[in-house]
Structure formats: C-alpha cells, structure tokens
Structure 1
Amino acid sequence: MARTDILLATYNGETYLPALIASIEAQRDRDYRVLVRDDGSRDGTLTLIDAWRRRDSERVLVLEADQPAGGAAANFARLMAVAEAPYVLFADQDDVWHPDKVGTTVAALMRAEAELGRETPVLAFCDLAVVDADGAVINPSFRHFQGMDAVAGAAFNRLLTENVVTGCAMGINRSACRIGCNVPAESLMHDWWLALVCAGLGKIITMPECLIDYRQHGNNAVGAKAWSAADAIRDKIRSGRFRANQQRFLAWMDRLYAQAAALERLHGAQLPPAQARTLAAFRSLPQQSFLVRRMRMIRHGFRLSGVIRTIGFYLRA
C-alpha cells in the first residue's frame, strides 16, 4: 500500500487537467496512489484520466461513479470513504503542484503524529501562489492576497466563523480521514468540515511553504479574490443595498450555525471540554440579545481575519 493517497475529484476539467497530472507525476516523493472520481464530465476529462490510468496503472485508480455526487464536497467525501493510506492529500483539477508538495506535507503530518500519536486527527495545509489562467503569478501568497491570518485563523473558535484552509493545499492523516469522511449536508465545504474536526479533536498545522499554483480562470469552485479594507468600505458605500446585503449575511450566518449544529451532532461527545464550551457558546448566539451576543462573540474570539472585517461582522451579526 502506498504511503499517501491523492484524491482527485474531476468535472469537465480537460483544459487544465494535463498540467495537474504532469505536476503529480513530477513529485519527488513517489510513494503515492491517485484515487480519481469523475462527477459526470461531458468533455474530454475521462479520456485524459483513462490514458493516465493505462500509463501508470499501479498508481492511478479510477472509481466507478454510479451516480453524480452533485458537487466537489460530496465527490471528495466519496473518495475519502475509500482512501486507505496513512496520509491523504486533495487535488483540484485545475492547479499545479510544486515538486515537493507531497513530501513536505506528509513530513509535517508525520512530525505531528510523532508528537501526538497516530490516533490524533491531524491536518496540515500550505500556502498557495495565485496564478491566472495561463499560469502567470498574480500574487506569490494566497494568504496575503486574501488578507488571511492562516495561523490564528486555524484555531477552533475562529474556524466556526471563517475558513482559512484551502482543500487543495491540505493533507490529513488516517485518523482525520476516518473521523471526518462523514461530511454532512450542512457542511459548507469538505475542507472547512475537516478543519473543524481536526481543530476540535486534534491539531492543525499551518505550513509556511508555498507548494501549489492556485489557478484562477473564472470557473473555480471557490477561488481567490483580492481584498483590501479600502475596497471593502468603498463597495459598502456604493452598493446602496444594505437590506438585501444584510439578508444575505444573515442567511450565511444561518449556514454557519447549521454547520456547527452538525459538528455537535456528530462529534460533540468527543470534543474536549474547552472546545465543547466554545461550540455551545457559538450555537447559542442566535438566542441572545444584541448586546449579549456581541459580548459572547468578543469573549470567545468569534471573529474574521482583519480588524475591518471583524468590525463589520460584529455590527451585522
């Protein structure tokens, strides 16, 4: 059995898939297997995958898709359910991996297991270079580009309100895969769900290395968007649609509360006391008065990256 399973969920990805495949084949750490599941592509994706499988049948395994998963999160969840390796990495079809991505990520996970034990769920995630459709660098750091605090933001309380873990940048150990593979419908994305599980029950490692070219081409499932405080304030002033924006924000908060409720339902009994109290405090927010809700948000550190984002969050929540 390979030391690492690389999970690749595909859908109509023929344009950029060859570059990803080449970058996986160029990994210095070759102790891996690739599990591929396609979600009903109508372009040449399956032809590319089949050619890859025939070229490297020992490393590439294509899962039969009996019915569409209906999205990237569900597709990855089905891949996690069949992964068997001690370490699991996630690949998006339109990115390019740097040659040390597998080795560096697995080394970080192994160091954590040496300290905490293999039964502790562990997640490690790297930085990414933001590139355009042709691969030209837009920003050498996705975290800087997004104005993201990827260290403090990986704490359990912070992850309840904002995700700083990008799926294609993360790796998990066997324990995290076993515990987190049951991705509920309430989860906002598989990477966010795994981050919550690992922060609550184990450990998250924020790796400083940039190990991926994160391609932006207009059809990304999530994608990256530059952020600045000045732009955020200017957009709010110009929008003139406060009520509609507030309704969308409150709908988003409802989704956060639903995700937290799913975490309580599935893993609440296993959470350490501190995380259990934090989760209970977050879930209680909708029932509190305006003043008490904000006091609890401040006390438990429920916030977003950056002062401007956090102020806006506290004013609207």
Structure 2
Amino acid sequence: MRNIAIILSSYNGDKYLSEQIESIINQTSKNWNLFIRDDGSTDSTLSIINFYQEKDSRIKLIHDNLGNIGPLKSFEALMRRVENYDFIFFCDQDDIWKKHKIEVSMSKILDMKNEYRLVYTNFENFGTKEMTSGKFYPETFQPNHKNLVIQNWIYGCTMVINNKLLNITKEIPNEAINHDNWIVNVAQIYGDIEYLDDVTVLHRIHENNVTTSNTNPLLRRFNYLNKIIMNKRENKFVLLSFLQKLIDIQLTVPTDKEYIYTFLSALENNRFRKMYVLLKNKFYAYSTMRTLLFYFTIL
C-alpha cells in the first residue's frame, strides 16, 4: 500500500468546499489522507471542515499559529506536514475531482524511473457562461518542459509528486510567486515530468479565483498587459532571482538539463546576444502572446 497525502489550503471557501471534499471521498482509490490548512477564513469554511473531519477519519484539519499567510506559504506549511508520505496531491478548494483522478495519476507516476517525479493531467474549466467544454490542453499538445522557466502552464490542482521531490521543494522562495511554479521548475531541472492526457479535474472559474477571474476577458487581458509593462524592471529582477534559487539547490544538474545555465547566462548578456541565444535554443512560452511578453520583459 502506498501512503498518499492530499493537501488543501482553504480560505473563505464555504460556497464550494463541500463539493470538492465529496469528490475526494468518492475517489476509486481509498488509501489517502486529506490535510487541510485554513488560512484565516471568516465564513463557515471551518465548520464544513470540522463536519467532514468527524465524518471521515482520513480528513484532518491542521492547526498552527501562522495566521493568514497567503496560498504560497500556506501550501509550504502543508508540505512540511506530509514529509513522510510517499506521494502528494495538491488540491484547490473549489474544484471537483473526477472519480479516477488518484487512480490514473498513481498508475502513471509509479511507472516513472526518475528519483524526482511529477505527473500532471488534463482538465476542464467550468463555472461561467463563457466557458466551453472540452480539454484544456488540445489533442495536439506536445509539451517541451524546459520552457516552463518562461511560463508555467501546469496547474497545481492536476499534479502529484513523489516524496523525493517534496523534500527538495518544501522550502518555497517568495520569487516563485506560487507553489506550483516552484515545484514544477525544480522537477523539470532535477527530475522528470510526465503529462497524462486525461481530464481528472473540473477547474472552477469564478470571481474569487487566485489565478484568474470571470471578469470581462478583454479587460482582464488589458490589466495583465498593463501590469507587465509597468513592472518590467521588477519582473526581470524576480526572474533572475528565481532562476538563481533553482540553481542553488544542492543537487547536480543532469547533463540534459544544462540548458538552465544557457538560459541564465543569456539573460545576463546584452539584448542582441540575449535574443540570439534564447531564440537559437528555442525558448518559447506556451502561447505566442506570453512569448512576446517574456522577451519584452527581459530586453
């Protein structure tokens, strides 16, 4: 039997949390423990968690004195609590898991040979009238994981990692912006990432999402572009600092992952040399727009 931990950071999630927990309880795989850390909710979230904790002994509310520390540090606190588990799933409070999520993800990660492993799956967005059904990643999706240093397209709610990867990622630098960005990039440099083209999560989009919202798409895009332009200097500094944190991990970078050094050294060159090296080595984001924004930021 493999020890499986699911970690969930909650915050004012009473509207959707029960549906998410029920979807975990209904998994075809039953050998798991769900650890929930509440980040200072002021609604009835804690009452919901306490109800399920009494209903199912596999569900555990984490108590600490850290207070409201935000999603990044809240997940870091959770990761430290599950250091003895073989495999760790990450969970959003407002999603719905398909019944087979744990089963198929475990099947995939158990087949991997690398010491540091991460598996992510496809998913579907839902929750607004604008959403269209269907897989988020298209059938033609062929990920080049080295480009995760430019844009992380892997959602934490679709991920499972092994204990080895947990133990080299459980200290998350602030430059990471969010926990999944850090874990994914450590995995793509020092370990192995596998993609499973199977929808295992219904990812809810609503006005209180951490990563996105259902505001007008054009307004949302304009605000994002404006933020990129206004914070260009700061974003460039944060990126360089983030890359340095990745390299500072006390492990040897595998020979086939030494492109990270090429990437970092290119950023420290003049703009023409920088462009030449990065384009020659095919460093691109997931989308054309994000690629253009990346090159705008670093030049």
Q: Same fold (TM over 0.5)?
A: yes
- Partner residue, 1:196: 185
SS at match of 2:7: strand
Give the 3 Å change call, closer, same or farther, for CA 183–312 of structure 1 in structure 2. Answer: closer
Instruction: Write 1 or 2 for the structure with the bigger share of helix.
Output: 1
TM-score by length of 2: 0.88
What TM-score do you get using the length of structure 1 for normalisation? 0.84
Aligned residues: 294
Which residue of the partner structure matches residue 86 of structure 2? 86
Change over 3 Å in CA distance of 1:50–1:274 after alignment to 2: same
Cα gap change, 1:11 to 1:133, in 2 (>3 Å): farther
Map Cα deviations across residues 54-77 of structure 1 (whole Å, 9 max, x no partner).
1112x0121112112521111111
SS at match of 1:142: coil
| 1:143 aligned residue | 137
Q: Which runs of 4+ in 1 moved over 4 A?
A: 242-245
Residue matched to 1:273: 255
Going from structure 1 to structure 2, the CA distance change for 1:224 and 1:281 (only over 3 Å counts) comes to farther
Aligned CA distance change for structure 1 residues 313 and 185 (closer, same or farther; 3 Å): closer
SS of corresponding position for 1:293: helix
1:189 and 1:51, CA in 2 relative to 1: closer, same or farther beyond 3 A? same
Deviations 1:82-122 (A, max 9, x none): 2122111011000000000111111111111xx34xxx110
1:172 aligned to 2:161? yes
Q: 1:135-284 maps to which residues of 2 (within 5 A)?
A: 138-144=132-138, 151-153=142-144, 155-156=145-146, 158-223=147-212, 245-267=228-250, 269-275=251-257, 277-284=258-265
Is residue 12–residue 42 contact of structure 1 (8 Å, CA) maintained in 2? Answer: yes
For the 8 Å contact 2:128–2:214, the answer to whether it is kept is: no
State percent identity of aligned pairs: 23
User: Unpaired runs of 5+ in structure 1?
Assistant: none
1:71 maps to 70
Paired residues of 1:81 and 1:181 also in contact (CA < 8 A): yes
Q: 1:77 to 1:4 in 2, by over 3 A?
A: same
Give the 3 Å change call, closer, same or farther, for CA 182–50 of structure 1 in structure 2: same
Judging changes above 3 Å, is the alpha-carbon distance between structure 1 residues 309 and 250 closer, same or farther for their aligned structure 2 residues?
same
Q: Deviations over 1:145-196 (max 9, x none)?
A: xxx986424x23x011110110011000111111111112221211111111
- Classify 1:192/1:151 alpha carbon distance in 2 versus 1 (closer, same or farther; 3 Å): farther
Q: 1:129 aligns to what?
A: 124
CA pair 312-184 structure 1, distance change in 2 beyond 3 A: closer
Describe the SS at the equivalent of 1:152: coil
Give the conservation status (yes or no) of the 8 Å contact 1:89–1:171.
Answer: yes
Q: What displacement does 1:307 show?
A: 4.1
Secondary structure of 2:174's aligned partner: coil
Residue type of the partner of 2:247? E
Equivalent residues of 2:228, 2:293 under 8 A apart: no
Q: Is the 8 A contact 2:98 2:202 kept in 1?
A: yes
1:41-60 superposed matches below 5 A: 41-57=41-57, 59-60=58-59
CA distance in 2, matches of 1:48, 1:34: 14
Counterpart AA for 2:240: Y
Q: Alpha carbons of 1:265 and 1:149: their partners in 2 closer, same or farther (altered >3 Å)?
A: farther
Q: Which residue of 1 aligns with 2:8?
A: 8
2:94 partner SS: coil
Distance in 1 (alpha carbons) for counterparts of 2:181 and 2:128: 25
